[in-house]
Amino acid sequence: MLDPVWLKTFLVVAETRSFTRAAQRLGLRQSTVSQHIRKLEQASTQQLFVRDTHSVELTPDGEAMLGFAANVIDTIDRAMSYFTGAELRGRVRFGASEDFVAGPLPEILAEFRRSHPLVDLELTVALSGVLHEQLRSGELDLVLGKRQAGEDAAGALWTEPLVWVGREGVALDPAEPVPLIVYPPPSITRARALEALQRNGKRWRIGCTSGSLNGLRAAALAGLGVAVFARSLVPAGLVELPPGHGLPDPGEVEFVLRARRAALQGPTAALSDAIRTGASRLHGTP
């Protein structure tokens, strides 16, 4: 038998890629988390994780277990809701950065609405910097967005490299300023691009500024310049610049899910759990 408690622990470890962070999330000792995973591996007769002192990765059998575990936990949750009659009610003011609107996020939100039809979900789409300001001011309850890598540990979902992108075959003249396609301030990717260029003594000029992801994509497809995106969120039709492009490494960015402490209960906690469960879908991992 596969104990649902072990399966819940497995899902959190798979999401966080860390036994330590999973223990913090679940309110358990790290040794208890390890015990749950060991028992699940024994029950399934398969190794689910490859782990060392630096990383935790799913094995192919672990990838297969993801779907089974998620279905079991979802079924249990729906059964409990049905028999207890406890349907969530209330409002969630949710902010999401522009990066996610063309990806799987709408599907995750639709699933949440189907599971919790009495919750009033208000969505705000804006730059990550704007959303974090609105969260601090109490205008939003929950925010999914970017922040500078290494700022702090709260709310971290995953970290990934930033890359330079443009249309297929784009070529830069090393004698000319780098033509940039950027979001307006307080964009994090804009700041990282400018910091990298200035740090390496590269001249630059703004070829396009747009608060819309579609605007940036259109400008890049038109050949107006190059942009910086997280590697998993490069817009359709654009490509990562090949080696030898001569542009400095823009570093990494961290994706976070943050809530107002006073709001992290009821509908807000449920939406937070739904997004964390779907985090691997958001950044394109199986």
Residues of the chain with CATH 1.10.10.10: 4-84
SS3 28: coil
Check residue 238 and give its pLDDT.
95
Q: CB within 8 A of 154, min separation 6: which ones?
A: 256, 258
DSSP secondary structure letter of residue 46 = S
Q: How many CB atoms are located within 10 Å of the residue 243 CB?
A: 5
Helices and strands (DSSP H and E) totals, the chain: 10, 11
- DSSP structure class, residue 117: T
- Cβ(251)–Cβ(162) under 8 Å? yes
Which residue is it, tokens 């090949």?
242
Determine the pLDDT at residue 86: 57
* Sequence letter at residue 3: D
Residue type, 167: R
HSE-CB for 232 with a 13 A CA cutoff: 20
Q: What is the pLDDT of residue 74?
A: 77
Structure confidence at residue 263 (pLDDT): 61
**Cis peptide bond upstream of 184, omega within 30:** no
| Conformational region of residue 111, where left means phi above 0, alpha means psi within -120 to 50, and beta covers everything else | alpha
Which pair of tokens denotes residue 49? 């994780």
Q: Do the Cβ atoms of 113 and 122 come closer than 8 Å?
A: no
Answer for the pair 29, 23: CB distance below 8 angstroms, yes or no: yes
Give the rounded distance of the alpha carbon of 41 from its chain centre.
28
Strand 119-126 to 156-167 pairing: unpaired
Architecture of domain 4-84: Orthogonal Bundle (1.10)
CATH of 90-153+254-282, one of 3.40.50.300, 3.30.565.10, 3.30.70.360, 3.40.190.10: 3.40.190.10
3.40.190.10, 3.40.50.300, 3.40.1160.10, 2.60.120.260: which CATH number matches 159-251?
Answer: 3.40.190.10
- Residue 188 makes CB contacts below 8 A (sequence gap 6+) with 127, 128, 129, 146, 147, 148, 253
Q: Are strands 156-167 and 238-240 parallel, antiparallel or unpaired?
A: antiparallel
Residues of the chain with CATH 3.40.190.10: 90-153+254-282, 159-251
Instruction: Classify residue 236 by burial, with Cβ atoms within 10 Å: 0-12, 13-18, 19+.
Output: exposed
Q: Give pLDDT, residue 262.
A: 61
The span from the CA of 115 to the CA of 226, in Å, is 41
228-279 pLDDT, tens digit per residue, is 999 988 999 999 998 888 999 999 999 999 987 666 678 898 899 899 888 8
- Cβ contact 9:26 at 8 Å: yes
Its pTM stands at: 0.65
pLDDT by 10s per residue, the chain, length 286:
789 999 999 999 998 888 998 898 888 899 999 999 999 999 999 999 998 877 899 999 999 998 899 888 878 876 776 666 556 788 999 999 988 887 889 999 999 998 888 899 999 999 998 999 999 888 999 999 998 655 555 678 889 899 999 999 998 998 999 999 999 998 999 999 999 999 999 999 999 999 889 999 999 999 999 999 999 889 999 999 988 889 999 999 999 999 876 666 788 988 998 998 888 888 764 4
Q: Which residues are CB-contacts of 208 (< 8 A; sequence separation ≥ 6)? A: 180, 181, 182, 215, 216, 219, 224, 225
Q: What is the pLDDT of residue 54?
A: 79
